[in-house]
Structure 1
Amino acid sequence: MLQKVQTDVTCNICTSYFSEPVTLHCGHSFCRECLSSCWRATTQAFSCPECRQVPQIRVLPLVNECLAQLTDLVKRFSFQVLQSTKGQSQCALHGKVFKLFCEQDQTPLCVECCEIHGAHEISPVGEAALECRKQLQNMQSHLGKHFEEAESLLAQQSPVEWRKMIKEEYCKLYRLVKAQEFICIERIRQDQRARQDRLTQYIQTLQKLKLELQEAGCQPNLDLLQDAKKFLERGESELSQRTTTVFPELREYPIPGLIERLNRFREDIRLITTPATFYLSISEDLRSVKATENWKAPQDLEDSECYAAVAKQAFSSGRHYWEVDVSQVPQWTLGIYTTYPRRKKRRFVESLDFAFLLRCVKKEDGYYIRTYSGSLNHRLKGPIPRVGVYLEYSPGTLVFYNVLQRSLIYKFHPISFTAPVRPIFCPGPPLPGIQPGPMILCPVDSHLCACCFSSQ
């Protein structure tokens, strides 16, 4: 009953006994100061904070004297009940009224219980309750101030337009990337046009030289002998330009943020040691492989499993990326292999292994990069120190990247995978007279930049 009356004389804004209570037309009552502060802080002034009804007379009501007197009576009665020993519980052990309170254990005590709590701070219940009430009122005052401050901020401050600002930043980034894409595409067009012009000019020169050689062959013997050396030197000179003209150079077109984006799918690749890899030496940590002195490479390197190490991981879904350090291996092969069912006489037999490979070959006139299968057969400016490999199982994509230059090497797409895919690594064939180094599978936290490579 007392609790119900206490609720009736409590303000729903500050949750304390009424102070100068006022009653709105809807019947809800509040402290005069609480209602005034609430109206100042909200855009819906003069509405009831509880039911949101708006009165016809939009002024602050007068103090409800009857409710104020009732509030005083309830406060005095509640205090008397708290001070009365009749309203308190008794000690179950000694059967006496709790008159004391242990501050350390937060436990009410009778006089005889004090012996058990001898060294603790003990106070009369009235004093302890008074101190506790002061602390609660103090905390309530602090909460009220923070409540008003929060309501004021909610009413006054407009929300920060984060969505608009972020969208504008993405628009800037999009325009920047599109501009860089335009520059790159234009550079590719110019390179292709220049290559076509060189090739056309080379063909014309060869055709002209062919005709001159035919005419020279029809000359008298003495004239032929006198001019033969000159024509042969010109022929050798033109043929020496064949490599640079016929085999295009693999151009580097850096893509901003490329490797950072791919690193989201970075995999910690490890190798498998099998008896078949007797031409290879795999490290104990399964992170590197190199060619042994017993290497005797076959004509078709791609067709022999004895010359390639296989990864532990097999991928049958998702996107995956790994990097391989080939700076100590002048010739190498990287890629993946998978299996496809082979049909024979209307029946399926054992699966057929199939590989998608990128291969680097060293010749006297430089380095060449080739694909198997695929159409890439280009010259390189120099060796590639680290190759990134990106695999997307569906829709079937395999991409090779020059990590140092942040540029594309080659892309296989689309590939219809029907079985798990495994990465493969071949550190050879080694060059004669050169001690082969390891092909290293880079850890997930390993990153390469131009300054790092130049300092190696």
Structure 2
Amino acid sequence: MDFSTALKNLQEACTCHICSSLFRDPVTIICGHNFCQECLSVSWKDLRDVFPCPVCKVCSFVRHWNRNSQICNLTDTVRELQRPSRGRRRKVHTVCQRHNKIQTIFCVEDKELICPRCRFTDKHNMHSVSFVKNAAVIHRRMLRSSMEFLEDKVKECKKALTLQHRKTLELRKKFRYKKKEICFEFEQVKLFLQSEHEALLKEIHIEELLGLSTLNECVGTLAEHLSALEDLLKGAQAKHVQTNVAFLASLLREYHKCEKPKCPPFWSFRTKQYGLSLPPQYSGLDRIIKQFRTDMHFDLDAAHPQLVISKDRKSVLYKEARQSVDASPQRFRWPALLGCRSFHSGRCFWEVKVGNKPLWTLGMCQDCFPRQWNDQPSVAEGFWAIGRYSESGYVTCGPKRTTFLPVVQPTRIGIFLDYELGELSFYNMDDRSLLYTFNHSFTSAIWPYFCTGTDPEPLKILVPYPIPRRCHLDQRP
């Protein structure tokens, strides 16, 4: 092995794997690898629990290293050897195979060594040339600049790699925490379900005992009444076979006994409605609101002439006086109007405040929905809606008419459309319960539909938070 190769191997042995330079204050960690103390400190910065080796990734649970004096002395020796090595270069000459002359000239354009005779050949006659010594100085300077650039890039890459390793550990810690968090949340759900299960069973058992106790009392009362009726019947049968004189003598008394006996009231019992009601944090409604909430406002062109719309087009109310508006076949002949956007794909959510309005209808409709009828149809094609038609009566309109009764009277209605899935859902935002879901394969644009009724209380679209929309919309001009 020649001197230059040995020096190169020794230099590699004394090079830090982090900064790619000779060791400065070298230290040794538990796996046996050596690093600059400063480089290792930067690599382990902000780490608390685990300290991995930047080379082999062996982890230590203690921030500890030992100063290596032997490596320090060896590194100093390498530095001393590097200084004179640059002046010990032996002169090496190459011979031109064509002219058998020493190549002492460098062709700048072709970047190759040539001899003096090659200089005047047709190939190199018009090219720029320089002596080998001068060309070597220039190109060494250029190479050194490239080496410095590459060294900087290597250092940056190694620092980035070290940072990525640190981020890997941080990511693992975060996911460990997430797993613990999810496990804790599911344990809380299990405890909640267990307590709800026990509470409901206890409540049902108490109701069962009370019902059976009341029923047993009613059964006893009916049994006593039956016994009394049977005794009266036997007495009447005995009187029926008496002689005429005896029968007529006791007739008044028997009539008094047989007057319509009062039957005790029958027991009627209706069980409570039991069911599981999850708290809001376990409902998917919050995710729907957060991701798909859409800014919605009313369309002026389709509104009935007696509907007054606010300037921000978020509120509408019915008034007896008709407004002066352009006659259009697009206008409804009953107090209804549309939203300003149609939906032909995506998922969207908006919320409407109905308050205590006695009559209202909310939903979606197609362009083919009839608007020239005198009243809103209950059953119609291209129409999907729910509404209130009496103090405690709620109904679905569209493909068919059905009635339903919310547990809590809604004052705010949330509407969620999943166009691709073909679902239109209505939520009671007061108790965050699902009111009704329509399932239909939508094939054309559909519009939000609002019917206010003829009471003076306004219908309001609630202003959403500034969340970007994730559905494809068409807006009326």
The TM-score with structure 1 as length reference comes to: 0.48
Question: Which has the higher Rg, Structure 1 or Structure 2?
Answer: 2
